[in-house]
């Protein structure tokens, strides 16, 4: 089954990834960016040292290997749609070095090989050995799928076999401090058919939380730490209780969502109903009470974590790019397992908003934290906002996010459709061609600028196409070969049955700009509203307003007008909203309400914010 993307909106991003982002990320990983003031990665140098081809010392964070692994994965996907001999040569060379650095028994981790060869698997709490192993495995699978080359897959398998021996055959106790290996092992199982990998994934999931003191005992048994860990903070580690007994999404958001993805994949492969029920509980906890309107997760910088129900501050939040990506992985697996449209709805929300906002339109600057409200006079400057950047830096000392965004965008074709029991599910409406043993079809899509999507079956007989009706489309019109029809709905998908080659389904989604209100329990959004058009959430930036954004207020019941043109710094696509601007008063306090003037406020898609210089940005504005 494959989907070839031919879509004006997405091709722009995928070309940017292939032509700009990946070469730039290679230079960042290689410490060879022209601008010497940008944070250094050291990731490739560490691998060269471990391979015996450099005399330097290990530098960077303990999990620096994982950035290169994600880059390799992204390169693999990009080569499928944009062959690039230079990039492939660089990737092959990195793989050669990894192979050379791999130990005889299959172990690969440059931090441990170079700094602590005697301490393998003694600090699962902090040292990210299994996290890095997971990313290496994912890269191995992807590179094989993308290029047909087996070297990295074989390297990954040798490592996975070693892990199986240590944790299952020899029975070493322990679970990863940072989940990721679980989902990677299921991917390896799917790619190779080797059941040991699935068993090991299930083992890590089943073990988790069965001994809440595990990390305390592990810490007591060693005389070194990476940082200053708190092994008792089992919520942060998603290890307070067995995963099947957990009620809420807790702790570090990226770890949580990778874990839930691994759980969903394992449940999918094994048919484990209790595990699926746990996934559904985690899902409800996230999307009903702990997720931002942009699809971001992680309300606090303290532990980069979930906090409590409805605690969704817009400025001090975290919403790490990796967390939104991990949520997309989780959503995608739940979608394919349950055929319920609500999962793809969230996938789409996180993709068009949190993920696309994470990088500059030039492809070489990246956010790690994705706020919904920024004031450059405060962001990065005052204590509670130290973690927030008002503009995207060229790289980060902890650079997990940039290559993660690259691997998602370069593999976005995999998220367009899924097939289950002969039914074709249209999840994301990317333009392109779908091809599987069941059927072939072409999709023409004007999203996200307008709501016209047409699916034409080019091969197949008696096919059922299930079209997701997104929650944002208030009124959706579906025409079958020109005739409007009202299909049966099933779990949020419109079912179009008995399709044969030549049949065309034209869908018109409702792209009327809409105001979004949060549940009043979300204190940060009470009395405010956000604006959206289709899958995209919009935001207000200083640069577009007649006066500083601090005084901006939307008019209750006021009109929203969509403006489209081919020009403009914001892609010619914005919303004019009726509102008011309050004037600043003399002094700090006054006995008079500020003067207020009616005005037109301009909102642009959230994902392009911060591309036109420094300024305030807000997704939610007061409304009255």
What residues act catalytically?
304, 400
Q: What token pair was written down for 592?
A: 């008079």
Q: How far is the CB of 254 from ligand FUB (least distance, A)?
A: 4
Task: For residues 259 and 178, give the distance between their C-alpha atoms in angstroms, rounded to a whole number.
Answer: 8
- Burial class from Cβ neighbours inside 10 Å (0-12, 13-18, 19+) for residue 127 reads buried
Query: How far is C-alpha 512 from the geometric centre of its chain's CA atoms?
Result: 27
Q: Of 51, 243, 322, 408, which lies in the binding site for Zn ion, with binding defined by CB under 5 A?
A: 322
Task: For residues 60 and 44, give the distance between their C-alpha atoms in angstroms, rounded to a whole number.
Answer: 11
Site for ligand FUB in 201-240 (CB under 6 A): none
Task: Name which of 349, 382, 379, 378 is nearest 367 in CA terms.
Answer: 379
Q: How far is the CB of 219 from ligand FUB (least distance, A)?
A: 17
Among 242-250, 373-381, 393-401, 504-512, which window interacts with Zn ion (CB under 5 A)? 393-401
Q: Which residues lie below 8 Å from residue 148, measured CB to CB, with a gap of 6+?
A: none
Among 18-26, 209-217, 400-408, 417-425, which window interacts with Zn ion (CB under 5 A)? 400-408
Beta-strand pair 373-374/560-564: unpaired
Beta-strand pair 463-468/423-426: parallel
- Binding track over 551-580 against ligand FUB, x by CB under 6 A: ------------------------------
Task: For residues 252 and 239, give the distance between their C-alpha atoms in angstroms, rounded to a whole number.
Answer: 11
User: Which option in ligand FUB, Zn ion, none does residue 385 bind, with CB closer than 5 to 8 A by kind?
Assistant: none
Q: How far is the CB of 42 from ligand FUB (least distance, A)?
A: 15
Among 232-240, 290-298, 319-327, 474-482, which window interacts with Zn ion (CB under 5 A)? 319-327
Using the structure block, give the residue that is written with the tokens 């799928």. Answer: 145
- Measured between alpha carbons, how far is residue 335 from residues 161, 254, 281, 419, 440 in Å? 30, 19, 15, 10, 21
- Binding track over 51-70 against ligand FUB, x by CB under 6 A: ------------x-------
Q: Which residues lie below 8 Å from residue 279, measured CB to CB, with a gap of 6+?
A: 260, 263, 264, 267, 330, 334
Query: How far is C-alpha 451 from the geometric centre of its chain's CA atoms?
Result: 24
Q: Of 178, 407, 418, 536, which lies in the binding site for ligand FUB, with binding defined by CB under 6 A?
A: 178
Q: How far is the CB of 402 from Zn ion (least distance, A)?
A: 8
Q: Which residue is nearest to ligand FUB (CB)?
A: 254
Residue 58, Cβ neighbours under 10 Å: how many? 18
Q: How far is the CB of 320 from ligand FUB (least distance, A)?
A: 5
CB 238 within 8 A of CB 208: yes
Q: Of 401, 408, 441, 601, which lies in the binding site for Zn ion, with binding defined by CB under 5 A?
A: 401
Q: 564 forms bridges with which residues in the sheet? A: 573
User: Which option in Zn ion, ligand FUB, none does residue 398 bind, with CB closer than 5 to 8 A by kind?
Assistant: ligand FUB
- Binding track over 580-599 against Zn ion, x by CB under 5 A: --------------------
Among 290-298, 396-404, 436-444, 492-500, which window interacts with Zn ion (CB under 5 A)? 396-404
- Which CB sits closer to ligand FUB, 398 or 440? 398
- Binding track over 245-284 against ligand FUB, x by CB under 6 A: ---------x------------------------------
Query: How far is C-alpha 535 from the geometric centre of its chain's CA atoms?
Result: 16
Q: How far is the CB of 293 from Zn ion (least distance, A)?
A: 20
User: Which option in Zn ion, ligand FUB, none does residue 216 bind, with CB closer than 5 to 8 A by kind?
Assistant: none
User: Which option in ligand FUB, Zn ion, none does residue 107 bind, with CB closer than 5 to 8 A by kind?
Assistant: none
- Which CB sits closer to Zn ion, 401 or 599? 401
Site for ligand FUB in 295-314 (CB under 6 A): 304
Q: Which residues lie below 8 Å from residue 73, measured CB to CB, with a gap of 6+?
A: 135, 138, 139, 142, 143, 403, 407
Applying CB under 6 A, what is the total number of residues that bind ligand FUB? 8
- Binding track over 319-338 against ligand FUB, x by CB under 6 A: -x-x----------------
- Which CB sits closer to ligand FUB, 159 or 318? 318
Helix boundaries (H) for 148-252: 151-164, 181-192, 195-207, 214-220
CB 27 within 8 A of CB 33: yes
Site for ligand FUB, rule CB under 6 A? 63, 178, 254, 304, 320, 322, 398, 400
């Amino acid at each position: 089954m494959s989907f070839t993307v031919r879509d004006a909106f997405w091709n722009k991003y995928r070309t940017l990834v292939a032509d700009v982002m990946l070469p730039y990320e290679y230079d960042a990983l290689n410490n060879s960016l022209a601008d010497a003031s940008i944070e250094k990665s050291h990731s490739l140098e560490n691998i060269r040292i471990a391979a015996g081809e450099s005399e330097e010392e290990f530098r960077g964070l303990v999990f620096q290997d994982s950035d290169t692994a994600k880059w390799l994965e992204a390169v693999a996907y990009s080569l499928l749609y944009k062959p690039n001999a230079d990039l492939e040569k660089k990737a092959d060379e990195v793989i050669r070095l990894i192979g050379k650095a791999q130990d005889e028994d299959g172990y690969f981790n440059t931090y441990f090989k170079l700094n602590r060869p005697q301490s393998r698997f003694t600090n699962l709490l902090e040292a990210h050995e299994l996290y890095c192993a997971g990313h290496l495995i994912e890269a191995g699978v992807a590179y094989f799928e993308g290029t047909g080359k087996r070297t990295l897959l074989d390297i990954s398998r040798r490592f996975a076999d070693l892990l199986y021996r240590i944790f299952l055959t020899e029975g070493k106790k322990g679970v990863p401090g940072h989940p990721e290996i679980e989902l990677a092992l299921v991917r390896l199982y799917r790619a190779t058919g080797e059941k040991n990998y699935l068993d090991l994934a299930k083992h890590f999931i089943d073990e988790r939380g069965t001994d809440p003191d595990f990390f305390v005992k592990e810490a007591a048994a060693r005389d070194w730490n990476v940082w200053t860990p708190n092994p008792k903070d089992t919520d942060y580690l998603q290890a307070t209780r067995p995963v099947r007994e957990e009620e809420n999404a807790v702790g570090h958001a990226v770890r949580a969502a990778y874990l839930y993805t691994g759980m969903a994949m394992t449940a999918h492969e094994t048919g484990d109903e209790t595990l699926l029920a746990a996934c559904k509980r985690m899902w409800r906890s996230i999307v009903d009470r702990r997720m931002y309107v942009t699809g971001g997760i992680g309300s606090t910088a303290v532990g980069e974590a979930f906090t409590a129900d409805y605690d969704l501050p817009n400025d001090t939040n975290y919403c790490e790019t990796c967390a939104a990506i991990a949520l997309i992985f989780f959503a995608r697996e739940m979608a394919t397992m349950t055929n319920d449209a609500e999962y793809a709805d969230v996938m789409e929300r996180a993709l068009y908003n949190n993920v696309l906002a994470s990088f500059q339109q030039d492809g070489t600057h990246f956010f790690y934290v994705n706020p919904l409200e920024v004031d450059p006079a405060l962001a990065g400057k005052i204590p509670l906002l130290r973690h927030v950047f008002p503009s995207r830096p060229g790289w980060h000392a902890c650079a997990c996010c940039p290559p993660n965004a690259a691997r998602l965008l370069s593999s976005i074709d995999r998220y367009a459709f899924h097939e289950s029991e002969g039914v074709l599910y249209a999840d994301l409406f990317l333009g392109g061609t779908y091809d599987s043993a069941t059927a072939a079809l072409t999709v023409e899509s004007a999203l996200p600028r307008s709501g016209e999507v047409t699916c034409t079956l080019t091969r197949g007989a008696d096919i059922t196409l299930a079209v997701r009706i997104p929650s944002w489309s208030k009124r959706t019109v579906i025409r079958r070969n020109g005739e409007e029809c009202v299909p049966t709905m099933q779990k949020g998908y419109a079912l179009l049955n008995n399709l044969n080659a030549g049949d065309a389904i034209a869908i018109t989604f409702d792209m009327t700009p809409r105001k979004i209100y949060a549940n009043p329990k979300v204190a940060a959004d009470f009395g405010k509203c956000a604006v959206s058009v289709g899958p995209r959430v919009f935001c207000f930036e200083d640069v577009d307003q007649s006066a500083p954004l601090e005084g901006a207020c939307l008019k209750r019941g006021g009109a929203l007008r969509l403006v489209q043109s081919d020009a403009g710094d914001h892609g010619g696509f914005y919303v004019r909203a009726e509102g008011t601007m309050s004037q600043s008063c003399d002094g700090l306090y006054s006995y008079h309400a500020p003067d207020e003037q009616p005005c037109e406020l301009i909102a642009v898609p959230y994902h392009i914010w911060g591309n036109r210089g420094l300024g305030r940005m807000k997704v939610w504005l007061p409304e009255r």
